Amino acid sequence: MKKVSISDIARKAGVSVSTVSFVMNDKAVKMRISREVIEKVEHVAREMGYRPNQLARGLRTGKTKTIGLIVENISNAFFATLAKSIEDEAKKYDYKVVYCSTDNDEGKARELINMLSQRQVDGYIITPTLNLSEDICRLQSENKPVVLIDRYFPQHEEIPAVLVDNYEGVSRGMEYLIAKGYRKIALVSIETEMAHMKDRLRAYSDVLSRHGVEPQERLVKIVPYSSDHEAALKEVVELLASAGKDVDAVFFLTNYLGVLGIEAIKKLKIKVPTELAVLCFDDNDIFRLYTPTISVIRQPIEAIGQKAVSTLMERLKQPGEEPFPPQALIRLEADLIKRESI
Amino acid sequence: MKKVSISDIARKAGVSVSTVSFVMNDKAVKMRISREVIEKVEHVAREMGYRPNQLARGLRTGKTKTIGLIVENISNAFFATLAKSIEDEAKKYDYKVVYCSTDNDEGKARELINMLSQRQVDGYIITPTLNLSEDICRLQSENKPVVLIDRYFPQHEEIPAVLVDNYEGVSRGMEYLIAKGYRKIALVSIETEMAHMKDRLRAYSDVLSRHGVEPQERLVKIVPYSSDHEAALKEVVELLASAGKDVDAVFFLTNYLGVLGIEAIKKLKIKVPTELAVLCFDDNDIFRLYTPTISVIRQPIEAIGQKAVSTLMERLKQPGEEPFPPQALIRLEADLIKRESI
DNA sequence: AATTTAGGCTAAAACGTTTTAGTTCTTTTC
DNA sequence: GAAAAGAACTAAAACGTTTTAGCCTAAATT
């Protein structure tokens, strides 16, 4: 069974290709095609099981109704949830999503942008890696709108970004720890030069200083991105080994680190929250169900996805050649979910 | 900045469009294009930042180098991991993946197949819903290969499927429970007519019978797919309320149900494994880290993804019009991971 | 009666590729 | 010295659409 094309229908219905096209695109009335012909064509099309070839359509119109989504790693719960929310939201606008994962690799990210661009996606939603701003600016200069999610480039006002308010979120968490009397607060973060993580780190130091606590270097552990599970675990275990003495609380700056942290805590048999208070940035099933339950700063994942899509749609419908207007960062507030770990 | 096409290059290099095409596709030598011209064209192409338009290419060649992946829900850890493994594996063959989620809705699944077919993907990897076999057979009759994952249609030998050996996996788990002396084994499954879940259920009954234990209806809880979190939780809580008396072990048949189960166990403050032994089909971070750690039957997710892709590739390179050969189910073995919960 | 307007359609170009079948020289071969 | 072979390219069709411009007939307006 071969695919049926518009000209097969035209032949069978005894009309021209153009007529069929008009009917299929609801332009029949505007083009004054008669009722009978419209019905005839619609009937034949249904009968033959016609389905328009989107490649041809895209080639002709320059629009594919597809958005390219680049995340760090689709198997990570945070990005998987975000992706689903973007997929669902895009569907409302009748857009399809093509995803891919960078694994936080600059080169891979570049390849992916290339690949999506070759496939003529109409716009992009990207979790950027370091040094990607040039490539992204190029996309915009080719009139393809981009919206960043989760991360941003501080010196590029012209690239819109939707993300949680990292500084505010971490500040709120820190204030809570301080308010509860903790002063020897350890921090676990991931090694990266990217601004969103720097914002989180900055909040940590700022809140400590504001309360007259000197930030101590030995309380801050930055685990290398590339390290394997075991190596990373070892680092966290080291940091928390002195829990109850030199450390009375720990703040994990990402989901993944929090899970790692739980593993370390379990291994060291640390009593939470009596020996160590625990707080994590980003929620996860595990934090809700672990004993004790772990308090978190929860990102509004759904809202980030929705806002990213709506911002992109805004730009997609902008006609022609004008460059995109600058757009300030869109920062969404995080919630502090208080559980048993602090 | 407009996109640069093959004819822009041709003009600038002073050669014909065909020549450029040959050079870009490494057919230059075969077509006896001279060294100088090749270099000239390559230079101009690089200089102008040429990137082939895959729509046009796909339209002309009928191949898009894209595979459509349909899963139940990309935000579910199992499918997210599977998707990542498929994405990585496909990349090795230089194929791109387009994913989408059915949310287990038959209609939605059909829409997605339609959409992917319109986008001319070369082949499909599908987690099917009920009643989807006809649509899938249609794809194959249009010469688009399909590989099912995780689930299958028992009466359709012509559609290849890659999945864990569900019967064997659950049997192994049950034998373990029996060997440990448990006899009042409860089961929690999800409502579905699909064969993979029926296989799991059958294994449960068969093993019990083989050991002279009469399967009891009140020990089997089938939670409706559509029920919300709270409702589903309530069902599990009901089942487990008599733990320690009428129930001495519980086997959750999916990842999601296991998480729900932990929630119920936590709520009921059941002591595991003394009052209740716990086993779950599918691993998850939570099972590894919960106290006590939960034993699981682990699916070989990576292997499923890899095998699905390689099976698809096998069929993709089959030339022309011949129908696809039948292909027996590919069942991969699951591992029993023994932890503290039993 | 001659021109306009409207109604109902179609021809053909265009989108950016790939690929088949040439074309035009130059060099061999007999 | 004519025919054949080889080298180095090119013209043009085709893939399946959309869309602009236009054709033809009939009705309406001057």
What whole-number distance in Å separates Cα of residue B95 and Cα of residue B67? 7
Task: Choose the closest CB to A101 out of B75, B84, B100.
Answer: B84
The pLDDT assigned to A323 comes to: 79
**Shortest CA distance to B256 belongs to which of B229, B238, B231, B274?**
B229
**Shortest CA distance to A101 belongs to which of A75, A119, A135, A82?**
A75
The values of phi and psi at residue A196, to 5°, are: -60, -35
| Minimal CA separation from A275 to chain B, in Å | 18
Lookup result for tokens 């981009």: A146
Kindly determine whether residue B76 and residue A80, on different chains, have CB atoms separated by under 8 Å. yes
* Average per-residue pLDDT for chain B: 94
What whole-number distance in Å separates Cα of residue A47 and Cα of residue A41? 10
Residue from A54, A121, A302, A322 to probe the interface with B (highest B Cβ count within 10 Å): A54
| Minimal CA separation from A272 to chain B, in Å | 13
Residue from B2, B54, B66 to probe the interface with A (highest A Cβ count within 10 Å): B54
Q: How many residues does chain A have?
A: 342
Residue B78 near residue A84 (C-beta atoms within 8 A): no
B231 touches strand D (CB under 7 A): no
Q: Is the pTM of this model over 0.95?
A: no
The pLDDT assigned to B318 comes to: 79
Q: Which residues contact B201 (CB under 8 A, 6 or more apart)?
A: B187, B189, B220, B253
Run of H or E residues at B207: helix B195-210
What whole-number distance in Å separates Cα of residue B328 and Cα of residue B160? 6
DSSP state, residue B16:
-
DSSP A40-106: HHHHHHHHHT----HHHHHHHHS---EEEEEES-TTSHHHHHHHHHHHHHHHHTT-EEEEEE-TT-H
B245, two tokens: 């008396």
Confidence check: pLDDT of B97 > 90? yes
Kindly determine whether residue A98 and residue B98, on different chains, have CB atoms separated by under 8 Å. yes
**Shortest CA distance to A213 belongs to which of A261, A241, A239, A179?**
A179
Interface of B with A in 217-246 (CB under 8 A): none
What whole-number distance in Å separates Cα of residue A81 and Cα of residue A150? 13
* Cβ density class A201-225: b for 16+ within 10 Å, e for less: bebbeebbeeeebeeeeebbbebee
* Cβ density class B210-246: b for 16+ within 10 Å, e for less: eeebeeeeebbbebeeeeeeeebbebbbebbeebeee
Name the residue of chain B whose CA is nearest to A287's CA: B286
| Strand C bases within 7 angstroms of protein beta carbons | 7-21
Beta-sheet pairing, A96-101 with A66-71: parallel
What whole-number distance in Å separates Cα of residue B142 and Cα of residue B131? 19
A94 has a chain B CB within 8 A of its CB: no
B62 touches strand C (CB under 7 A): no
Kindly determine whether residue B84 and residue A96, on different chains, have CB atoms separated by under 8 Å. no
The pLDDT assigned to B158 comes to: 87
* Cβ density class A37-50: b for 16+ within 10 Å, e for less: bbebbbebbeeeeb
Residue A221 near residue A191 (C-beta atoms within 8 A): no
Q: Which residues contact A6 (CB under 8 A, 6 or more apart)?
A: A17, A20, A21, A24, A50, A52
pLDDT digit string, tens, across residues A90-121: 999 999 999 899 999 999 999 999 999 999 99
What whole-number distance in Å separates Cα of residue A122 and Cα of residue A312? 10
Domains of chain A: 6-52 (1.10.260.40), 64-163+302-332 (3.40.50.2300), 166-298 (3.40.50.2300)
- What is the CB-side half-sphere exposure of residue B149 using CA atoms within 13 A? 28
Confidence of residue B72 (pLDDT cuts 50, 70, 90): very high
What whole-number distance in Å separates Cα of residue B69 and Cα of residue B147? 10
**Backbone region of residue B120 per phi and psi (left: phi > 0; alpha: psi in -120 to 50; beta: other values):** left
Confidence check: pLDDT of B320 > 70? no
CA distances from residue A336 to A149, A174, A177 in whole angstroms, order as listed: 21, 11, 11
At residue B124, the 3 state secondary structure works out as strand
| Strand D bases within 7 angstroms of protein beta carbons | 7-21
Kindly determine whether residue A55 and residue B64, on different chains, have CB atoms separated by under 8 Å. yes
The pLDDT assigned to A131 comes to: 94
Interface of B with A in 263-282 (CB under 8 A): 263, 266
Kindly determine whether residue A54 and residue B118, on different chains, have CB atoms separated by under 8 Å. yes
B34 has a chain A CB within 8 A of its CB: no
Confidence check: pLDDT of B243 > 90? no
Run of H or E residues at B111: helix B106-118
**Shortest CA distance to B255 belongs to which of B226, B284, B222?**
B284
The pLDDT assigned to A320 comes to: 67
What whole-number distance in Å separates Cα of residue A171 and Cα of residue A173? 5
What whole-number distance in Å separates Cα of residue B197 and Cα of residue B203? 10
**Shortest CA distance to A327 belongs to which of A135, A76, A159?**
A159
What whole-number distance in Å separates Cα of residue B288 and Cα of residue B282? 11
What whole-number distance in Å separates Cα of residue A194 and Cα of residue A152? 8
Residues of B within 8 A of A80 (CB-CB) are: 74-77, 80
Q: Which amino acid makes up residue A68?
A: G
Residue A260 near residue A250 (C-beta atoms within 8 A): no
The values of phi and psi at residue A160, to 5°, are: -70, 150
Residues of A within 8 A of B96 (CB-CB) are: 98, 100, 115, 119
Residue A196 near residue A153 (C-beta atoms within 8 A): no
What whole-number distance in Å separates Cα of residue B84 and Cα of residue B96? 12
pLDDT digit string, tens, across residues B203-240: 999 999 999 999 899 999 999 988 899 999 999 999 99
A41 touches strand C (CB under 7 A): no
Residues of B within 8 A of A262 (CB-CB) are: 289
Run of H or E residues at B83: helix B77-92
The values of phi and psi at residue A232, to 5°, are: -65, -40
Name the residue of chain B whose CA is nearest to A69's CA: B98
* Cβ density class A130-152: b for 16+ within 10 Å, e for less: eebbebbeebbeebbbbbbbbbb
The pLDDT assigned to A318 comes to: 80
**Shortest CA distance to A126 belongs to which of A92, A90, A99, A156?**
A99
What whole-number distance in Å separates Cα of residue B200 and Cα of residue B194? 11
Question: D1 C1' – B32 CA distance, angstroms?
Answer: 29
The pLDDT assigned to B323 comes to: 78
The pLDDT assigned to A2 comes to: 76
Name the residue of chain A whose CA is nearest to B286's CA: A286
Kindly determine whether residue B59 and residue A56, on different chains, have CB atoms separated by under 8 Å. yes
Kindly determine whether residue B59 and residue A64, on different chains, have CB atoms separated by under 8 Å. no
DSSP state, residue A187:
E
Q: Which amino acid makes up residue A168?
A: E
Longest dimension (CA), chain A: 87
B289 has a chain A CB within 8 A of its CB: yes
B341 has a chain A CB within 8 A of its CB: no
Residue A51 near residue B117 (C-beta atoms within 8 A): yes
pLDDT one digit per residue (tens) for chain A, 342 residues: 678 999 999 999 999 999 999 999 999 999 999 999 999 999 999 999 999 999 999 999 999 999 999 999 999 999 999 999 999 999 999 999 998 999 999 999 999 999 999 999 999 999 999 999 999 999 998 999 999 999 999 999 889 999 999 999 999 999 999 999 999 999 999 999 999 999 999 999 999 999 999 989 999 999 998 889 999 999 999 999 988 889 999 999 999 999 999 999 999 999 999 999 999 999 999 999 999 999 999 999 999 999 999 999 999 988 767 778 888 899 999 999 999 998
